[in-house]
Amino acid sequence: MGQIRLYIPQRLNIDEPVDLSEQQSHYLCNVMKIKENQILYCFDNQSGEYRCVPVVLNKKHTVLRSISMERPYIQVPDVWLIFAPVKKDNTDFIIQKATELGARRIIPVLTRYTISERIKKERFEANSIEAAEQCRRTDLPEISEVVKFVDLLQKWDKKRILYYMDETLAGDTVAKVFAQADVPCAIMVGPEGGFSTEELATLRKASFAKAVNLGQRILRAETAVVAALSCWQALSGDWQ
Ligand code: SAM
């Protein structure tokens, strides 16, 4: 069995007991069938990851005790993902992959051609927590409220570069742009219908925005998210 990792939404301290939620207790007892004295790895999104053992093990109420620190808290590089939600399963995929690929913040944006408007922040958060547990992040991405394209750009902090993936191939290649990428930055991917002409015109006028092209083939939105974040991490981020 692989390591069991859990996100604990409270500060962990060595030797201090921590009560798990009923849902986490059920998961450990009924799904993972953990035993007394079995080591678990818990992180709190603020101080790091700890080795923990159960001191009370019950499917309704489990208490852990952290016995030592395994790894300190490390934040991923300051790159955000901005994406226009697509169908439910593909949006789940985007949240999971963006978490694994080290997005520090994830912002859903409503553009002219965004189809899915049933955006559930709690679902996004649950997906990102599961992905962070699985991929050994010690931090969680911040999930923002959904924002309209116009508002996003109007309130933009100009010190953060906005790299928008432009399927009209007007931008420079990803290899060129991301080899010289600065942080803080954000990567934005449009919806299945692409950005509208007006949205592209707005982006082209913005001093803080830069068009990026991901090659000759038009990628699905979720593929573009994975491709852009992977290229950024490889060329400018923590894959180096
Ligand atoms: N409807 C558009 C079309 O047919 O031209 C395609 C939109 S694409 C499915 C969804 C998003 O992925 C785009 O808005 C863009 O942000 C990104 N994307 C896909 N392929 C791309 C490429 N080759 N270069 C840059 N961005 C791309």
Residue whose CA is at the smallest distance from ligand 1 atom 21: 167
Ligand 1 centroid – CA 213 distance (Å): 9
Q: pTM for this one?
A: 0.95
- Asked if 220 and 97 touch (Cβ cutoff 8 Å), the reply is no
Q: In what order do the strands lie in the sheet with 5-7?
A: 5-7, 40-43, 48-56, 63-72, 17-19
Mean pLDDT across the chain, nearest whole number?
Answer: 95
Atom of ligand 1 nearest to the CA of 220: 9
Question: For ligand 1, is residue 202 a contact (CB within 6 Å)?
Answer: no
How far, in Å, CA of 159 to CA of 179, rounded? Answer: 19
Residue 117 has pLDDT above 70, yes or no: no
Local structure of 101: helix, strand or coil: coil
- Residue 168: CB atoms within 10 A of its CB come to 12
Ligand 1 centroid – CA 102 distance (Å): 22
Angle at 206 between CA 152 and CA 105, to 5 degrees: 40
Ligand 1 centroid – CA 84 distance (Å): 12
Residue 169 has pLDDT above 70, yes or no: yes
How far, in Å, CA of 202 to CA of 175, rounded? Answer: 24
- Asked if 63 and 20 touch (Cβ cutoff 8 Å), the reply is yes
- Which sign does the torsion angle of CA 110, 115, 120, 126 carry? negative
pLDDT tier, 221 (very low <50, low <70, confident <90, very high otherwise): very high
Residue 209 has pLDDT above 70, yes or no: yes
CATH among 1.10.260.40, 3.30.479.30, 2.40.240.20, 3.40.640.10 for 5-72: 2.40.240.20
pLDDT tier, 1 (very low <50, low <70, confident <90, very high otherwise): low
> Lowest-confidence range among 2-11, 133-142, 147-156?
2-11
17-19 and 63-72 strand pairing? antiparallel
Question: For ligand 1, is residue 192 a contact (CB within 6 Å)?
Answer: yes
CATH of domain 79-235: 3.40.1280.10
pLDDT in tens, 7-54: 999 999 999 999 999 999 999 999 999 988 899 999 999 999 999 999
Q: How do the domains of the chain map onto residue ranges? A: 5-72, 79-235
Which one-letter amino acid corresponds to residue 200? L
How far, in Å, CA of 6 to CA of 170, rounded? Answer: 43
How far, in Å, CA of 52 to CA of 41, rounded? Answer: 6
Question: For ligand 1, is residue 199 a contact (CB within 6 Å)?
Answer: no
Structure-block tokens of residue 174: 């990803």
Ligand 1 centroid – CA 139 distance (Å): 30
Mutate to test the pocket of ligand 1, among 81, 82, 115, 165 (most ligand atoms within 8 A of CB): 165
Question: For ligand 1, is residue 85 a contact (CB within 6 Å)?
Answer: no
